[in-house]
Amino acid sequence: MRTMTKARIKSPWVLHFDCGSCNGCDIEILAAQTPRFDIERFGIVNIGDPKQADVLLVTGPANKRNQRVLRNLYDQMPAPKTVIAIGECACSGAIFHNCPNTLGGVDKVIPVDVYVPGCAARPEQIIDGIMLALQKLEKISECQEEGG
């Protein structure tokens, strides 16, 4: 594995955006950073700055009010980047799928790489989701390095 790819999968900085979630999944994301789960052992840091982030964690259903903000955050992240939808609402809209104010899943607004279902998604699942996203990032990175 090339040095750059190795560094990329060993240092994913995540940005967390709450798209109108009930805070259940948000608490679980925070729980993943506590000593019990400690995502920093994989080099994962919860960074608040989209310009420095590699992975976007989105919770809650996309709605008409904040889709512009979501799109903006996604556009501000420099490539290579991945997006993870966390929780049922972010995956498909769940119980809010036919509400007049929501659009449904996050994938209606931005391309999503990994879906982590669950209401709420458990910290182990979230860590698993990030690892899956890293496998995808590894492929993207290898293609990029081979292509020059």
Partner 1 sequence: MVDLLNLNTYVPALFVVLAPVIGGLLMGIDRKLTARMQSRIGPPILQPFYDAIKLWGKQPFLASGLQPILAFGYFGFSVAAYALLAFGQDILLMIFTIAVADVCLIVASFNSKSPYSNIGAKRELLVMMSYEPVMILAALNISIMTGTFMIQGIFDITVPLLPYLPLTFLAMIPVLVVNMKKSPFDVSASGHAHQELVRGIYTEFSGYTLALIEFGHWTKVALMLSFVTLFWAPNLIVGVALALTLFFVTLVIDNVYPRLDWKSMVKTTWTAGFLLIIANIIGLIVRLVAL
What residue type is assigned to position 147 of the chain? G
d(CA 89, CA 19): 9
Site for partner 1 in 69-98 (CB under 8 A): 76, 78-80
Site for partner 1 in 1-30 (CB under 8 A): 3-4, 6-8, 10-11, 13
- Give me the helices (H) in 16-122, please: 24-32, 67-76, 88-92
Give the shortest CB-88-to-partner 1 separation in angstroms: 26
d(CA 49, CA 52): 6
Among residues 28, 54, 88, 113, the one that binds partner 1 under rule CB under 8 A: 54
Q: Which listed range, 20-28, 37-45, 64-72, 101-109, lies at the site for partner 1 (CB under 8 A)?
A: 37-45
Quickly count helices (H) and strands (E) in the chain: 5, 7
Which of helix, strand or coil describes residue 88? Answer: helix
Using CB under 8 A as the criterion, which residues of the chain lie in contact with partner 1 when the complex forms?
A: 3-4, 6-8, 10-11, 13, 33, 35, 38, 40-43, 45-49, 51-52, 54, 76, 78-80
